[in-house]
Amino acid sequence: MNNKGELIKADLYSRQNALNGKYRACQLGLDDLASIDDSDIFFLETLKMKADLADKIIAEAESQGKDTTDANVLKELGEKIRISGTPVHRNESIMTAVFVSLQLMAYYGIAIGIWGFVFKKSFLVFGLCGVIVGLIISLVSVAPVIAFQRTKERIGDMSFAVGALWGNVGIIIGIFGIVAWIIRAIFF
């Protein structure tokens, strides 16, 4: 075993809660790792984090006097552990980051392009500048954050936050541009 993926799998299989069947009883998906490619380190590390959480929650339950050999107790603990999120493969988080970045580029391209009409210049030139602004925002603050999330829930939360923050700023810029364009058309 010299591959990091193999080492992570060995660690997961050799844990006490894997050996005594508690992971299986909690229905965590940590008991059958054969279908996971050893080179998918990101996903395996996410599963390792889930196993660490499961070990912690099971130990807390045992310290509180709960019978962790009872299937109903383990199902309840499994629900608590699964709430932490569904692990994703790295490709899914990267594709979401790309999609959100493209959305931002479109928002800013259209919003700043409207200002081309306000200044009686080219919509396309201003729009291209807006796309570049959206790209810079994406590269600096959006794509790195979303691409390194490890669960579907966190990806969803981060995508919503990006839309609520940066997407709304782009929309506001566009609305001000439309208002300025209308005022210019009426009074000038």
pLDDT, tens only, 127-173? 999 999 999 999 999 999 999 998 888 899 999 999 999 999 999 99
Could you tell me the pTM of the whole model?
0.70
pLDDT, tens only, 8-35? 999 999 999 999 999 888 888 787 788 8
Q: Within 13 Å of residue 142, how many CA atoms lie on the same side as its CB? A: 28
Residue 117: partners with Cβ closer than 8 Å, 6 or more residues away: 123, 177, 181
